[in-house]
Amino acid sequence: MCTEWQSWRAGKPGHELGHEAVGVVVDAASSTRHKVGDRVIAMPHWGCGKCPACLSGEHIHCTDQRDLLAETGSSCGLGGYAQYLLKPDYLLYPVPDDIETDHAAMALCALGPSFTAMERMQVSPADTLVVSGCGAVGLGAIVNARTIGARVIALELHPFRADLARALGAEHVLDPRAPDLVEQVRALTGGYGADAVIETSNNEAAPPIVLELVRARGRLAFVTWSGALPVNRITGKGVDIFGCWHWNHDQAGERMMQRVREARPLLDKLVTHRFVLADVSDAFALQETGQCGKVLLYPGGRGAGA
């Protein structure tokens, strides 16, 4: 489960909820990539498979999405909160036999956005990374960073998620509203600022603040959609900035699967709750409280609750 609970909170009805899923192929049609019985990761959206973005594996950035309902004559099948899901075969990535389905599900929005951000920022074990916001994506960023050995400073207000951030390996968890936040981060980084920062909070006010947390010639990545940056500070600090939405399964699939393998103990901590599909409203209500990490939703009869 990802951000669909926000539509639930707003009272917006929808029959295509769920943009991330892992499942089993039940009808392979004419595919030569997959067969019935294969476990697969279903990537988001419905990229055309032909444009420059898709041909480079960046399907998430396709500007000519396919209309699968029109193509198939179906009235449903686009949402992951369902027993069945329609997907082009090139948007399915095979799950290796040694990776459990629950862990494979973390390769989507739990690890995916920050995985790309850290690869593009070239985060290494020598780096100190600030993670702004400890929702599911931010917590996944901590998992990614700690798995590769980077030091993590997290920014979070919610007590439950602050505690979970520490359990996942954040060395410090700071209040993002603190008037001396910049000074705190500099004090923890030899006076210079963090080597890299990833903004996941989607707070309108966050971008100019996190820009001040990164050192001169540092790196800054956004997996969010809100706020604005002052150009004079970007230029003045010489900061490299990256916009990252998801991960490229065509180019980075093997690296992602290895990340999942190495992160297993932390992934087990990151997933705090499991629900069956019939209890999705209860899952939404839990997500609204913030008293959770990543939540898994099962179409069948897997155990519910914590």
Whose CA is closest to 245, among 66, 76, 98, 53? Answer: 53
DSSP string, 174-237: E-TT-TTHHHHHHHTTTTS-EEEEEE-S--TTHHHHHHHHEEEEEEEEE--------HHHHHHH
* pLDDT at residue 8 in the model: 86
Cα 27 from Cα 49, distance rounded (Å): 20
Burial class (CB in 10 A: 0-12, 13-18, 19+), 100: middle
* Upper half-sphere CA count for residue 124 (Cβ side, 13 Å): 3
Query: Tens-of-pLDDT digits for all 306 residues of the chain?
Result: 998 988 888 888 777 899 899 999 999 999 999 999 999 999 999 999 999 999 999 999 999 999 999 999 998 999 999 999 999 999 999 999 999 999 999 999 999 999 999 999 999 999 999 999 999 999 999 999 999 999 999 999 999 999 999 999 999 999 999 999 999 999 999 999 999 999 999 999 999 999 999 999 999 999 999 999 999 999 999 999 999 999 999 999 999 999 999 999 999 999 999 999 999 999 999 999 999 999 999 997 664 444
Q: What is the pLDDT of residue 304?
A: 45
| Structural domains of the chain in order of their starting residue, each with its CATH number | 5-109+248-298 (3.90.180.10), 112-243 (3.40.50.720)
Q: What does the pLDDT read at residue 55?
A: 97
Cβ-based neighbours of 38, under 8 Å, separated by 6 or more: 24, 25, 28, 94
pTM recorded for the entire structure: 0.95
